[in-house]
Amino acid sequence: MSQTLKQAYDWLMRPALEHVCALGPVMKQRTRLLPRAEGLVLEPGVGTGLNLPLYDPDKVKSVIGIDPSAPYLEMARKRASEAPVPVELVQGTAEKLPLEDNSVDTVLLTYTGCSIPDLDAALAEFRRVLKPSGRVLLCEHGRAREPRVQKVQDLLNPVWRPLAGGCNLNRNIAEKLQEAGFAIEHMENFYMLPRPKFLSWLYFGSARPR
């Protein structure tokens, strides 16, 4: 998809993204995860900035939000101006971060690992920019544990991905983190919603550089 077409698609998708990503069960997981962020936070795929009001100013020094989508960033800018912590927003991609090595305390990922085209490259970047004492905090949907749900995810993925802005249904986020040199510190797996199961399996937790 050309850049212009992608931006037009994002303009059209923005209300739907805002609606789905702000549903009660989705927000509930954000409110569990966000208080764990500390120091300098990198939020790749910041989207429309739904997390920005939830950062704890007693623990977070500032947030750098990165996203390739101009329409989403426009909405994030409004939320940034009212956020309880300083926020810098950058148009860019997680695969090529404009940040120094060992400079970030927290990488915060919510509902984004599914959409980053080259997740391995992005995870390598997170590893590079995180301080050795830093951590990745994540709440991501992905590959379910039940084989019959996995089959549905594999079957639907080629149709779903182009229709849903590049969202993949079947990524095993915990495995990807470990392959990229992270040790899982804490991981909860559960269905966020009873249905649809193929979209609801969550990876909620944290990982540290090994």
Ligand X SMILES: C[S@@+](CC[C@H](N)C(=O)[O-])C[C@H]1O[C@@H](n2cnc3c(N)ncnc32)[C@H](O)[C@@H]1O
Binding of ligand X at residue 93 (CB under 6 A)?
Answer: yes
Q: Which region among 38-46, 52-60, 171-179, 194-202 touches ligand X (by CB under 6 A)?
A: 38-46
Q: How many CB atoms lie within 10 A of CB 191?
A: 18
Residue 65 or residue 209: which is nearer to ligand X going by CB?
Answer: 65
Q: Judged by CB under 6 A, does residue 117 bind ligand X?
A: yes
Q: In the complex, which residue's CB is closest to ligand X?
A: 47
Q: Which residue matches tokens 């709440």?
A: 139
Task: Render 151-185 in DSSP notation, one character per residue.
Answer: HHHHHHHHHHHHHTTT--S---HHHHHHHTTEEEE
**In angstroms, what is the minimal distance from the CB of 117 to ligand X?**
6
Is residue 95 near ligand X by the rule CB under 6 A?
A: yes
Closest CA to 132 of 183, 98, 62, 86: 183
Q: How far is the CB of 111 from ligand X (least distance, A)?
A: 4
* Residue linked to tokens 């990503």: 21
- Let me know if 31 is exposed, middle or buried by CB neighbors in 10 A (0-12, 13-18, 19+): exposed
Min separation Cβ 108 and ligand X, Å: 9
Q: Quick one: 120 or 185, whose CB is closer to ligand X?
A: 120
Enumerate residues 141-170 that contact ligand X by CB under 6 A: none
Q: Could you tell me the sign of the dihedral formed by the alpha carbons of 178, 182, 186, 187, in that order?
A: negative
Find the Cα–Cα–Cα–Cα dihedral 186, 59, 48, 86, rounded to 10°. -150
Among 55, 85, 87, 115, binds ligand X (CB under 6 A): 115
Which pair of tokens denotes residue 138? 């994540």
Binding mask 43-72 for ligand X (x = CB under 6 A): -xxxx--xx--------------xxxx--x
Q: End-to-end distance of the chain based on CA atoms, in angstroms?
A: 36
Nearer to ligand X, 29 or 182 (CB): 29
Scanning 97-105, 113-121, 124-132, 176-184 for contacts with ligand X by CB under 6 A, the matching segment is 113-121
Is 140 a binding residue for ligand X by CB under 6 A? The answer is no
| List of residues contacting ligand X (CB under 6 A) | 17, 21, 44-47, 50-51, 66-69, 72, 93-95, 110-112, 115-117
